[in-house]
Amino acid sequence: MYKLMDQYLKNDTFSIQKNIVDHSEYTLARSRFRFDDFEAYQATAYSVRDRLIERWNDTHSLMREKDPKRIYYLSMEFLMGRSLLNSIVNIGVKGQYADALKQLGFDLEILVEQERDAALGNGGLGRLAACFLDSLATLDYPAWGYGLRYEYGMFRQTIQDGFQLEHPDYWLNFGNPWEIQRVHTTYPVKFYGHVDEIQENNKKTYIWTPGETVEAVAYDNPIPGYGTKNTINLRLWAAKPSGELELDSFSTGDYVNAVLSKQRAETISSILYPDDRTYQGKELRLKQQVFLVSASLQDVVRRYKDFHSDFAAFPQKVAFQLNDTHPIIGVAELMRILLDEEKLDWVKSWEITTKVFSFTNHAILPEALEKWPLELLENLLPRHLQIIYRINFYFMEEMKKKFGDDLVRLSRLSIIEEGEKKNVRMANLALVSCHTVNGVSKSHFEFIKSSLFKDFHDMWPHKFQCKTNGVTQRRWMACSNPDLSQLITKWLGTEAWLKELDLLLGLRLHANDYNLQEQWMKVRRSNKSRLAAYIQIISGAKVNVDAMFDVQIKRIHEYKRQFLNVIGIIHRYDCIKNMTAEDRKKVVPRVCILGGKAPPGYENAKRIIKLIHAVGDKLNNDPDVGDLLKLIFIPDYNVSMAELVIPASDISQHLSTAGSEACGTGNMKFAMNGCLIVGTKDGSNVEIQEELGSENMFLFGPSAEDIPELRTEQKDFQPVLEFRRVVGMIRKGVFGNAEYFQPLCDTIDGAGDDYYLLGHDFPSYLEAQAAVDKAFVDKKRWAEMSILSTAGCGQFSTDRTIREYAEEIWNVEPLRHS
Ligand code: B1H
């Protein structure tokens, strides 16, 4: 291995441009950046990649030999983060690489930090896809992920005067050692144009003449499983010049414009849309979706045809999982391929299509469900629209037989939304054509059955399943918290928990053991020191490592209620200010840490970021407060940042208004690492509590069932004095920027209806926080709770989730290397 790395270190082909300009100051600070380290990182990465490719090839050969049923996970987002550490942990060579690098004068930990995150996703939905790949590979499933190779991933966030600034994330600037371009694996993806109907052998045939064709080229990213040779593939598509010019423009002699319009077409895969809640209806987004599914389906069909002469066995060999409705246009695309290219009849094509697709819903708000203007589809995808019309026609015929003239119900069920402007409802298309639809937590499952998709559930209850999300313990424990992982292995006497997370239960036996408690808290303290050092680099603030680290890191959204957290912090500040010196001695010191990105167009989310900074400026510099309370905002929250922060957190906050978080997976990562949760009875908080016991968590507030009534009572509701006092302070300008914060304050009092019920939940939130303070003082009890938190997390591995998908939705078997 030394030789290999030495060779890479010397090899000119891997040397990179010397004037590095685009590393942000935060990355710089974090990574203790040295040019040599960056080069050594690259050399190491290429040497690891060689090993991955070997395994990838073996896996591929085995697949070709056995031709098993394969799973294809189609997703617009894969939030992969970094790959180096994860790869060497999974293939079991971390120790060897660390030693080899040491002998060459490098520190693995520092090299790991040179890698840019692959931030090809917004948040939970994209990270879930990444954790799924890790579990699919680890559990030996024959699986592939399909996505887009965005040139600009999630924007990079910096903060200026407390305001969020967004910068393009050109993550490929320094090359990407983890991908292999497949120059010969390309497919044309067609848009616009017109469809002609012709008679061929007494049969109507449809010929689509596209107005634009964009070439998709494959980039493969090997994903190694842990403790197995199985190495699966994440194939990402990029748009590339097709080499051909449209004849129309060419013949008019407008060569330059023809080339420029071609270039525009190639921007399809350039940028990730940075918004995960509101549906925007942008044409480029639909083009991206089509680009993903069309290239992927052509690829899958080609692979299938290498082994099969007809489509009879297609459903026995192929399962597609659609990550939300984003890739659902794939249903129409597969129908088009089977009908128009493979010349199958409608009945056969439909039978095949409905057997291969299943879909995961992650939505809560009906407004978040995608619908595309009919006009847009007609223009962009004329053939697909014809197919969707026909699917809807047969579906409506069936429904009329069932529900007669219940027109209201029929119009709710229809894939086409009638009205002045007609729309195509993508969720309805999914429900009609997928054999299974699943929710992502128990509470979300209840919600989709009883509300979001009630009409469909009443009709086809057998289609609905619940698959509670999880996270992979390889990344979220073994890689990001190696010391705690080693300790767990020592006390369990095995590292099998890295593949069977249920084994963590064994820690319950020792939770009360003084030795384990001491070692456990020591590891946690050293993780906190690491984070404290980072905080000092980015903010200059020196935080007390023995204070409680109270963390809320996630995307900034009103429903996630970072605002509630800030109001709580201001209240705490206000209390401290009004205390006697004697009383101050009793205060449990806290370092409140927040981080997250606001969607660029979401003004109130941006106001929350500014408010956090404004409050931080005030209290961090107040000598009356000193070490009793600090408020730190960590900029540019991403996967790597989460890996640093989570192992160092004492408590973490998951405050979404009950009924608004489909699942939530951050809470699982924290709980697994022994961080206690302060949370609402929402999403997976409820399931975590079932496993951990209410005595090891701090849940508060109403349940989702109570929310509608509470909302109707809002107009007569008067929040408690403390709440009004805090809001008054913000309004009065105690933190400056009074005018700028008014619209935010208006959402919770006065003009607003406090839709997210901050005022209502505030007293119970304060009670939960008081219980946290009380518990933190009892060090022994706290250590025990922390160990029990980890011990109870066996259910929250994506290994469990993936097994359930494989057995209950996909009907696929593992394929083991001998
Ligand atoms: C989740 C999204 C999402 N739900 C639209 N919905 C997007 C919607 O770019 N878009 O258009 C992107 C993402 N993401 C999250 O999924 C939920 O909010 C979490 O509660 C859940 O844990 C996660 C994974 O299921």
**Helix 798-805 and helix 124-138, axial crossing angle in degrees, nearest 10:** 80
pLDDT of residue 368: 85
pLDDT of residue 254: 78
Burial of 14 (0-12, 13-18, 19+ CB in 10 A): middle
Rounded-to-integer distance, Cα 90 and Cα 510, Å: 28
Residue 667 has which token pair? Answer: 């809470």
Residue 527 has which token pair? Answer: 């993780």
pLDDT tens digits, residue range 420-469?
Answer: 999 999 999 999 999 999 999 999 999 999 999 999 999 999 999 999 99
Q: Atom 22, ligand 1: which residue's CA is nearest?
A: 664
pLDDT of residue 15: 34
Q: Atom 17, ligand 1: which residue's CA is nearest?
A: 662
Same fold: 67-81+117-468+804-810 with 531-790? yes
Q: Atom 10, ligand 1: which residue's CA is nearest?
A: 276
Phi first, then psi: give them for residue 210, nearest 5 degrees.
Answer: -75, 155
Compute, in angstroms, the gap from residue 661 CA to the centroid of ligand 1. 9
pLDDT of residue 818: 83
Residue 355 has which token pair? Answer: 């057997």
Q: Is the CB of 37 under 6 A from ligand 1?
A: no
Residue 468 has which token pair? Answer: 């509670």
Residue 340 has which token pair? Answer: 């128009």
Phi first, then psi: give them for residue 814, nearest 5 degrees.
Answer: -65, 155
What amino acid occupies position 211? G
Compute, in angstroms, the gap from residue 732 CA to the centroid of ligand 1. 36
Q: Which residues contact 708 (CB under 8 A, 6 or more apart)?
A: none
Nearest CA-CA partner of 325 in 465, 431, 171 = 431
Rounded-to-integer distance, Cα 500 and Cα 138, Å: 11
Nearest CA-CA partner of 568 in 496, 629, 512, 626 = 629
Q: Is the CB of 346 under 6 A from ligand 1?
A: no
Phi first, then psi: give them for residue 447, nearest 5 degrees.
Answer: -65, -45
Compute, in angstroms, the gap from residue 598 CA to the centroid of ligand 1. 15
Q: Is the CB of 469 under 6 A from ligand 1?
A: yes
Q: What is the mean pLDDT of residues 575-597?
A: 98
Rounded-to-integer distance, Cα 658 and Cα 597, Å: 22
Give the chain's mean pLDDT. 94
Q: With pLDDT > 90 as the criterion, what percentage of the chain qualifies?
A: 88
Residue 267 has which token pair? Answer: 């921007």
Compute, in angstroms, the gap from residue 728 CA to the centroid of ligand 1. 34
Rounded-to-integer distance, Cα 213 and Cα 17, Å: 35
Strand, coil or helix: 586: coil
- Beta-bridged to residue 221, according to DSSP, are 234
Asked if 171 and 116 count as a contact pair (C-beta separation under 8 A), the reply is: yes
Compute, in angstroms, the gap from residue 382 CA to the centroid of ligand 1. 29
CATH code for the part of the protein at 67-81+117-468+804-810:
3.40.50.2000
pLDDT of residue 22: 40
Parse the chain into domains and list their residue ranges.
67-81+117-468+804-810, 531-790
Confidence of residue 16 (pLDDT cuts 50, 70, 90): very low
Entry pTM: 0.95
Confidence of residue 13 (pLDDT cuts 50, 70, 90): very low
| Torsion angle, alpha carbons of 791, 795, 799, 802, to 10 | -170
Q: Is the CB of 683 under 6 A from ligand 1?
A: yes
Q: Is the CB of 125 under 6 A from ligand 1?
A: yes
Rounded-to-integer distance, Cα 424 and Cα 372, Å: 5
Rounded-to-integer distance, Cα 782 and Cα 803, Å: 34
What amino acid occupies position 403? F
Pocket test for ligand 1, best of 286, 359, 361, 362 (most atoms within 8 A of CB): 362
Length of the chain: 818
Asked if 520 and 787 count as a contact pair (C-beta separation under 8 A), the reply is: yes
**CB-side exposure of 349: number of CA atoms within 13 Å?**
19
Nearest CA-CA partner of 171 in 640, 547, 601 = 640
Compute, in angstroms, the gap from residue 277 CA to the centroid of ligand 1. 7
- Residue 17 confidence (pLDDT) above 60: no
Q: Is the CB of 440 under 6 A from ligand 1?
A: yes
Q: Is the CB of 682 under 6 A from ligand 1?
A: no
- Residue 584 confidence (pLDDT) above 60: yes
For residue 127, the ligand 1 atom closest to its alpha carbon is: 24
Q: What is the mean pLDDT of residues 160-173?
A: 96
Q: Is the dihedral of CA 95, 97, 103, 106 positive or negative?
A: negative
- Residue 767 confidence (pLDDT) above 90: yes
Residue 616 has which token pair? Answer: 């931080």
pLDDT tens digits, residue range 457-510?
Answer: 999 999 999 999 999 999 999 999 999 999 999 999 999 999 999 999 999 999
pLDDT of residue 201: 81
Q: Atom 9, ligand 1: which residue's CA is nearest?
A: 276
CATH code for the part of the protein at 531-790:
3.40.50.2000
Q: Atom 7, ligand 1: which residue's CA is nearest?
A: 276
Q: Is the CB of 157 under 6 A from ligand 1?
A: no
Q: Is the CB of 362 under 6 A from ligand 1?
A: yes
pLDDT tens digits, residue range 261-312?
Answer: 778 778 899 999 998 667 777 899 999 999 999 999 999 999 999 999 999 9
Q: Which residues contact 394 (CB under 8 A, 6 or more apart)?
A: 350
Confidence of residue 7 (pLDDT cuts 50, 70, 90): low
pLDDT of residue 498: 98
Compute, in angstroms, the gap from residue 276 CA to the centroid of ligand 1. 6
Q: Which residues contact 309 (CB under 8 A, 6 or more apart)?
A: none
- Residue 88 confidence (pLDDT) above 50: yes
Active-site positions read 362, 554-555, 560, 665, 669
User: Where in 436-545 does DSSP place strands (E)?
Assistant: 436-439, 464-466
253: left (phi over 0), alpha (psi -120 to 50) or beta: left
Confidence of residue 1 (pLDDT cuts 50, 70, 90): low
548: left (phi over 0), alpha (psi -120 to 50) or beta: beta
Q: Is the CB of 663 under 6 A from ligand 1?
A: yes
Q: Choose the weakest-confidence range: 106-120, 361-375, 521-535.
A: 361-375
